[in-house]
Structures are given as C-alpha cells and as structure tokens.
C-alpha cells in the first residue's frame, strides 16, 4: 500500500489493519501500490495510473495518495466503479471537512470507524499517526450507514506486563501507540554491604501484551519537555491555546437537516396540549426505522432513548410509538434519572441501544437543583452536551412556556435564560393561527445554520391513540404563534376569491402562486388561511426529493397525488 504526503514520503498500511479487511473481502486488486509493497497479485503503480483503467471484475483495496485533490479523484473513481458489481474498500483520512467526503463517502458508502489512530511506518523508519476511516463502496453497502468499528487485535485485553525501563522525558511507540513514562518506587540496597535499603524512583511503561518497544520520533510540542546542554530533562508547560491554523474544520452533521444537529442540544418549547411529546415520538419512530424526515430529507437509523415522566409507558407511550411506525425494539425508556448525576447510566444505555437520539421530556423533572437558576442549568447542560458530542447523537429537551405577555419567543420558555443560551437550536410549537386543529413547529434559534422553514402538522386519533400527520411547510413564525389573534376576515374573503379563481383550471405549484398573490396585495399568510377555508389539498407531485408542492381544489383532484 502507498500513501504519499506533501513531503513525498511513502507510508505503508499497517499489516494488522489490512489482514482484518482481507479476511472479509479477499481482495484481488491493489489500486495504489508499488512493486515493493503491493498487497495483491494484481496492482497498479503510480506510473500505471489506476484512474485510467477499469477495475471491473475485482474486489479492490485502495490506500491512495493523501493529496486532497488526487484523493478526491480516487474516491470519485471508486464510487463510479462500485455502481456496477465492483466492491472497493478505501483507507482514508477522516477528512469530514471536505465536500467530497460527504458527497461520496457518507451518502453512498459504508463508513467503518477505526478505534484510535492508525500508525504508518515510512521507508525511513519514521512513524506517523492519523485518524482514519475505512469506506466501503459496492453492492450491499449503502450510504448513511456505519459498519463495525475496526479495532487492533488485543486492544480489549486487560492483561499488562512491564516491558521496559526508560529515562524521564522519553516517548516510545508501543504497538502502534505513543506511550509516556510513569514513575514507580522500588527498593534498592544502599551501601556496599547491602545492609540498608532506600526507596528510588524509576520509570516504566505498562501496556497490553504481546508487544515490543521502539523509540519513535515525536513532534516537539507533543512531549512537553526539553533537554538542556548538560543532558538533564526539564519539564515545560504545554500550550494553553490552539491556533486556528492547526484546526481541521468539520462540517455540522444533522439528525434532521438544518434543524436538529448531532453532538448538540435542541430545545422544543410549547404550551400543554400542543402535542410536543407526540411530535418527538414521531421523530423517534423515524430514527428507529431510518425513514425520511418530515420535509423529505434522508433519515438516520439508530436507537432512541426516551427519558420521560409525563406519559404512562404501558398505556400511552408504547401505543403511540406503534402508531407512529416505530421499531419499538430500538427504543429504551428511563423514568428515574437526574442530570448530571445519572449521566453515566444514560451513556451506558445509549451504548446498549446504539442511540442517535435522546429525548428528555420534560427537562425540569430531571435537572439536579433549581432549573430556574442559570448556574444549575449550565452545570447540567454542559456535560449533557459533551455526552452528545462523544456519542454523535442529538439531544432534544422539552419544556413548557411561561405566560408570554408580549415576550419575544427567545424569552418565552420556562426556566433560566441559560437554557436558550446553552443550546444550539430551539423550536416553538403552537396552535396554528387559522386552524385550531393544526400545530406549527417554528424555528426560534439556530447557531449553526439559517433558521429552517416552519412546518405544519396535525394530531389525529388512530384507534384510540394520537398520531402526527405532517402538512408541509408554512409561513407562520414563532412571533405569529405568540401574537394575539386579529380580525382578518375581510382579507381572507379576498384571498378566498383569489384562490378559487386561480385554482379553478386545475392544480398549481406553490411557487407559481406566490407572484400573483403578491401582485394582488395578498400576504402569503392570508393565502394559507384561505387554503384552509376552502379545503385546498396540498401534496407533492412527481418523484424524487425535490418534487414540488401542489395546491388543488378538492373536487377536481383525481390521480395526481
């Protein structure tokens, strides 16, 4: 295997990593190799240029050049070859910040994370470590999925053995990982006769066996020590800062695009009776099955943890989950917990069910201390956000509203303002201004992306339990949900007449309604109310994610839905 850095050094793939993958895939072609390090009988060298040849009929291993532009072409080639019957397995740096990583690897390949860094050995004997992933393209390996985590053999063993004694300040590469000394006290004879004993400090490394110890070059800033002219090693403080130039920018990943981010906390606020719990259970059901989100964006499959206190698990919660189409075997429920005291138990449950979503409903039943105290809230939410980041999951907190009295949406949620400050995304759920049977999910705050469009949904009875039906995007904002109702009847009468006239000849795409409505002096919100008055049906026509929304009078709708 060949890896080329910007310095022109070649670095071979660790044998333990290749052997694990070889056992599964039985490779027949190495697409980026040299005659000295090829892993397969068939291989392409740099001079052969694998990008110019077909890989069809082979199971391909690829650890290509790590120049970003060249690597992008290799990844694109791997994806193109896999669209036939070719399986391609790539060892890649974990470069989530590059658009091609998301466009090809995440969307169309299976991602297999590697526990710890992968250490490559160069021809000059140097060893360098990087965060890497394995990406598999091919039949049976679809996008938006994670494969099994790859671990170094023996990494789970707890057996230890002292393997060497070293001087202070030395770093060693041990079985592919860098280890530093630790002091131990030992008894040594003192005096020639050995009749006295004294305690001396030596330094040892303890690690999982079997292994060997090899001195390795480490970057100067990794050691935190320096050697003076007389050979003594002196401790130096580590840097207390990070230069942005040393940081690899990472894209934000979402459970629900631009709305609910992974690794962060999202808050949903609303009055009692606005179906907040039913809404989050609908989202949870989508996660358990991998179904698309309410706006049609691709779903993410995984487990769900519900920490809830207001609904009976056996009488209400399970029935609603089944009605929502959930795979109930992927949903775990905790009723007795506090935050942050119970975070270790919560994290263990997350690991057990493979959770990608945690819902806490309502927040104030589970906060240690006073939820109206900003310090108490931050003590609870900071480690909760860290848990979300470690486990690459989304956390949704549910809370009620206070009596608004004209307050802005950001200040309408109960509890400390520190809740709004600490979370990265916040929503308000309220009754639709023109239809008491519908609800609006409005984006109040988003630190990571522009605020998303509001979504309309309606709760309805499904054999004695509540289920959610999504009605598409709407124009109502959080301010509209908190505003006092106004008399808009005359404007709605005009909007009703306009809508009847424009839809009389058949269905019309939403985009084609906006211009004429504005020209007639009709606001879109008023047109939304007229749509409800007339019973206009709204649906998506055609195929694909970007199929348009269409409005149509109910009496003329036939087979277009």
Query: What's the mean pLDDT in 126-130?
Result: 77
Reported pTM: 0.51
Q: Is 108 contained in some domain?
A: yes
Instruction: Report yes or no on 409 lying in a domain.
Output: yes
Tens digits of residue pLDDT in 232-272: 444 444 566 788 887 777 889 999 999 999 999 999 999 98
Please indicate, yes or no, whether residues 417 and 474 belong to a single structural domain of this protein: yes
Q: Report the C-alpha gap between 332 and 303 in whole angstroms.
A: 8
CA distance from start to end of the chain = 53
pLDDT digits 0-9 by tens, 290-333? 999 999 999 999 999 999 988 889 889 999 999 999 999 999 99
CA distance 172 to 179: 5
* pLDDT at site 74: 93
- Say yes or no: 115 and 203 in one domain: no
| Alpha carbons 549 and 557: distance in angstroms, whole number | 14
Range of the domain at 471: 254-482
Verify that 277 and 420 share a domain, yes or no.
Answer: yes
As a whole number of angstroms, the distance between CA 419 and CA 377 comes to: 7
| Look-up of token digits 């066996």 | 209
Q: Are residues 414 and 496 in the same domain?
A: no
The average confidence (pLDDT) of the chain is 80
Q: Is residue 197 pLDDT above 80, yes or no?
A: no
pLDDT over 90 at 393, yes or no: yes
> Looking at residue 29, what is its pLDDT?
92
Number of domains present in the structure of the chain: 4
Domain boundary among 424, 456, 482: 482
For residue 67, what are the contacts with CB-CB under 8 A and spacing of at least 6? Answer: 4, 6
pLDDT above 70 (res 440): yes
Last residue within a domain, chosen from 184, 206, 234: 234
Q: Does the pLDDT at position 441 exceed 60?
A: yes
Instruction: Please check the confidence at residue 63 and state whether its pLDDT lies above 50.
Output: yes
Query: At residue 356, does pLDDT exceed 50?
Result: yes
442 and 506 in a common domain: no
Give the model's pLDDT for residue 489. Answer: 65
pLDDT of residue 172: 46
Same domain as 493, residue 478: no
Looking at the fold, whether 477 and 331 belong to one and the same domain comes out as yes
Domain assignment present for residue 241? The answer is: no
pLDDT in tens, 406-431: 568 888 888 888 888 889 999 999 99
Does residue 245 form part of some domain?
Answer: no
Question: Using one digit for the tens of pLDDT, what is the confidence trace for 14-24?
Answer: 888 998 999 88
DSSP codes of every residue in 289-319: HTPPPTTSPPP---EEEEEESSS-IIIIIHH
Judge whether residue 109 has pLDDT over 60.
yes
Tens-place pLDDT, residues 150-166:
888 765 533 333 334 44
d(CA 462, CA 128): 59
Tokens 């009709």, located at residue: 522
On whether both 450 and 316 belong to a single domain, the answer is yes
Judgement on whether residues 313 and 225 belong to the same structural domain of the protein: no
Give the list of residues 6+ apart from residue 308 with CB closer than 8 angstroms, or none.
277, 317, 333, 335, 359, 360, 361
Question: Which residues neighbour 399 within 8 Å (Cβ) at sequence distance 6 or greater?
Answer: 267, 268, 269, 362, 363, 364, 413, 414, 415, 419
Total residue count of the chain as it appears in this document:
561
C-alpha distances (whole Å) from 255 to each of 55, 355, 399, 452 are 35, 12, 20, 14
């Amino acid at each position: 295997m060949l890896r080329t850095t910007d310095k022109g050094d070649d670095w071979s793939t660790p044998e333990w990593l290749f052997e694990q993958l070889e056992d599964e895939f039985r490779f027949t072609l190495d697409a980026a190799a040299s005659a000295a390090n090829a892993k397969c009988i068939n291989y392409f060298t740099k001079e052969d240029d694998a990008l110019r040849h077909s890989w069809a009929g082979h199971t391909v291993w690829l650890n290509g050049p790590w120049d970003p532009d060249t690597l992008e072409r290799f990844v694109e080639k791997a994806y193109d070859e896999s669209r036939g019957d070719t399986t391609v397995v790539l060892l890649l740096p974990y470069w989530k910040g590059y658009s091609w990583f998301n466009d090809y690897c995440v969307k169309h390949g299976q991602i297999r994370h590697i526990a710890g860094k992968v250490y490559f050995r160069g021809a000059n004997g140097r060893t360098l470590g990087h965060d890497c992933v394995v990406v598999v393209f091919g039949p049976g390996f679809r996008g938006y999925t994670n494969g099994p985590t790859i671990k170094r053999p023996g990494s789970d063993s707890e057996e230890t053995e002292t393997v060497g004694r070293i001087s202070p300040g030395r770093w060693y590469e041990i079985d592919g990982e860098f280890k530093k000394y630790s002091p131990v006290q030992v008894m040594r004879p003192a005096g020639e006769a050995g009749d006295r004993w004294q305690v001396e400090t030596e330094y040892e490394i303890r690690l999982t066996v079997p292994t060997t110890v090899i001195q390795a070059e480490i970057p100067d800033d990794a050691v935190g020590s320096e050697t003076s002219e007389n050979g003594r090693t002196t401790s130096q403080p580590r840097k207390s800062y990070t230069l942005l130039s040393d940081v690899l920018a990472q894209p934000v990943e979402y459970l629900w695009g631009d709305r609910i981010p992974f690794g962060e906390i999202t808050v949903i606020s609303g009055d009692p009776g606005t179906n907040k719990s039913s809404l989050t259970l609908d989202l949870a059901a989508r996660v358990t099955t991998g179904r698309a989100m309410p706006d049609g964006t691709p779903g993410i499959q995984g487990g769900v943890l519900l920490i809830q206190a207001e609904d009976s698990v056996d009488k209400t919660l399970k029935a609603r989950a089944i009605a929502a189409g959930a795979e109930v075997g992927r949903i775990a429920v905790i009723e007795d917990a506090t935050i942050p005291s119970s975070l270790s138990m919560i994290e263990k449950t997350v690991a057990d069910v493979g959770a990608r979503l945690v819902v806490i409903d309502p927040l104030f039943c589970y906060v240690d201390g006073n939820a109206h105290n900003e310090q108490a809230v931050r003590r609870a939410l900071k480690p909760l956000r860290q848990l979300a980041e470690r486990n690459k999951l989304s956390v949704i907190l549910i809370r009620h509203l206070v009596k608004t009295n004209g307050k802005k949406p950001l200040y309408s949620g109960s509890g400390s303002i520190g809740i709004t400050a600490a979370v990265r995304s916040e929503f308000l759920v309220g009754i639709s201004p023109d239809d008491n049977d519908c609800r609006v999910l409005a984006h109040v705050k988003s630190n990571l992306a522009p605020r998303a469009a509001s979504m309309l949904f309606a709760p309805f009875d499904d054999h004695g339990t509540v289920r959610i039906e999504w009605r598409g995007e709407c124009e109502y904002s959080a301010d509209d949900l908190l505003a006092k109702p106004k008399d808009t009847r005359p404007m709605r009468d005009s909007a009703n007449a306009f809508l009847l006239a424009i839809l009389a000849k058949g269905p019309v795409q939403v985009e084609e309604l906006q211009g004429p409505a504005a020209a007639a002096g009709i606001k879109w919100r008023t047109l939304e109310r007229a749509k409800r008055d007339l019973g206009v049906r709204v649906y998506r026509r055609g195929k694909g994610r970007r199929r348009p929304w269409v409005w149509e009078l109910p009496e003329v709708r036939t087979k277009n839905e």
